[in-house]
Amino acid sequence: MALSLVNLCAREVVSDHSSSTCWLRWVPRELYGALLQAAFASCRPLAVSELVNRWPERSLKVGGPRKPGQRAPNRLCIQALLLAVVRGLSDQRCALRILDLCGLQGDEGSMGDPMGGWSLTVALCTMVVQARAGAQKREGERERKRFSALERDKDEKRERGKTREVECDVGEGEIKEMIIDDKEKSEEEKMKGVRRKMEMERRTGSPVIMVEESQREKEGKDLDCGVLVRVRADLFVSARSWERVRVALSSNGPLKLQCRFLRVEEISVSSIKTLLGLLPHQVLLGVDVRYSNLGVSGLAQLLPLLSMFPDLHSLRLHYCNLDFHREDTGQSETLRELSQGLSQLKKLKCLSLTALRLPGHLRVLLSSLPQPLEVLEVPYLRLSPSDLAYLSCSHHASSLQQLDLSENRMDGGTMICMRRLLSNASATLQHLSLSGCGLTDDLLALLKPSLGSCSALKSLAFALNPLSMAGLLDLVRMAVKMPSLKQLLYPTPLEDYQPGLPDLPSSAQLLDWPLDESADISVTSSQLNQVLIDSGRSDLMLTCDLLNYDKDLVD
């Protein structure tokens, strides 16, 4: 990636970050952004601290989508940024009012020592609590100074009174005259005060009482009047950090923590409800609940709370112990409650349900959504033929941009529904995952015409399907004829496994079965690469690496 002249100069300037306090006073405000970007890229925490401490703009955004090859900011730089924000609260040179850290988190343990979402959330909460404690300390110091000034005034008045008693020797008549004069003066001052109030009412056109009431109403409407900086971030909350996050969200101080995407893991329903009750309604866009024992009743309690967030467009539930496979009493009533709760999510565009075991009930849940979905992820749901039949004809099919049907077993009876679904979604579908669906060579042959018609498809995941080498070559030949396709996750052919596999192995068997060490695995990749060379598709990436596959790389 070629750097501009401004970026090259900015890196040179921040290279000696220990002297940033000297040269920063001469830097125009238009160059602060380039210098901060260079400080993060070069890992210069001192320069980051000084730049943020004197930030000249009202808003600052750090994070967001990263370009290919671009690393997440270093942990030391993020810590320096957060400390500088707290110091800037008492620095008049800092004009910062909105700090946007959404998407700042990186992958723990990766190169460059980035700060992961869990660590970043704890650091943000610590920053909010420290800012509140600092504000309370400063307020206490001001109160002590004010009290000391009042005490000094009282002492001075007391001393003046004693001096007047000693020096003044006046008669009783003179004292009476002084008292009368004082009364007359006090009455005159009262009259002046009344006239002053009447004059204020005449000029403003409204009584002073009305002004006080309007001020009281304004204070009631704006509860965050003492907030100096609003911090927006993606919050990652676990059972260990829940209490700290709760304290930070409920604190009233100069920093106000706001959440764009909330991810919680291993937290009870009551704790999730408490967090939702503390979040601003206008900011939250997505909720991701993982490994929490919600149950059907717990989800029914959360959906009404989620409807309070008007801009919520993403809901993800992963391994939350929702099981409709068992025949329980009152199941139909619970389904209706869930359907009604989902119908209140007016802007929902992304729905992800992982391992919730909902065979035969997809229609009840999805038909109540007021808008068509753009992202639907339903892996490990044990979808029935009736589920696929509904999905292929639903109002969601023609709007889907991302579809994940992984680990839902398919056979010849479901191919008609799958072909209809892909045909209806052919103009919009960009990412498709059919990994672990039991698709053999024969099923692939039935599916190829519909797959090939997906003109907008960018990534296709087809791993852990029992394809032979001939079937794999057919898959790749189809892929090279799709101009929009940039990434293909293909399965290991059956010939590369050790003998003993069943005729129709499951995805778990394909994942655990050892490969044949005597076979030359490089022959497979060379044959696939030859197909790419013959077609001239150097822009299509072929991989069988499940762990490092990332569909977002092609966006």
The DSSP code for 360 is: T
80 vs 113, residue with greater confidence: 80
Taking only the tens place, the pLDDT of each residue in 85-123 is 999 988 888 899 999 999 988 776 566 678 889 999 999
CA–CA gap between residue 487 and residue 472 (Å, rounded): 15
What's the rounded mean pLDDT across residues 379-399? 93
What's the rounded mean pLDDT across residues 265-286? 94
Taking only the tens place, the pLDDT of each residue in 456-476 is 999 999 999 999 999 999 999
- 75 with 40: CB under 8 angstroms? no
> Can you name the residues that pair with 318 across neighbouring β-strands?
290, 354
Taking only the tens place, the pLDDT of each residue in 59-72 is 999 987 777 667 88
- 46 with 76: CB under 8 angstroms? no
Taking only the tens place, the pLDDT of each residue in 157-175 is 777 766 665 555 545 555 4
Cα-flanking dihedrals φ and ψ of residue 254, to 5°?
Answer: -70, -20
CA 189 to chain centre: 61
What secondary structure does DSSP assign to 260-323, as a single string? EEEEEES--HHHHHHHHHHS-TTT--EEEEES---HHHHHHHHHHHHTT-TT--EEEEES----
The reported pLDDT for the residue numbered 156 is: 72
- The alpha-carbon radius of gyration of the chain (Å, integer) is 34
pLDDT-based confidence at residue 199 (cuts at 50, 70, 90): low
CA–CA gap between residue 435 and residue 490 (Å, rounded): 9
CA–CA gap between residue 238 and residue 290 (Å, rounded): 10
Q: Which of 204-213, 256-265, 292-301 is least confident?
A: 204-213
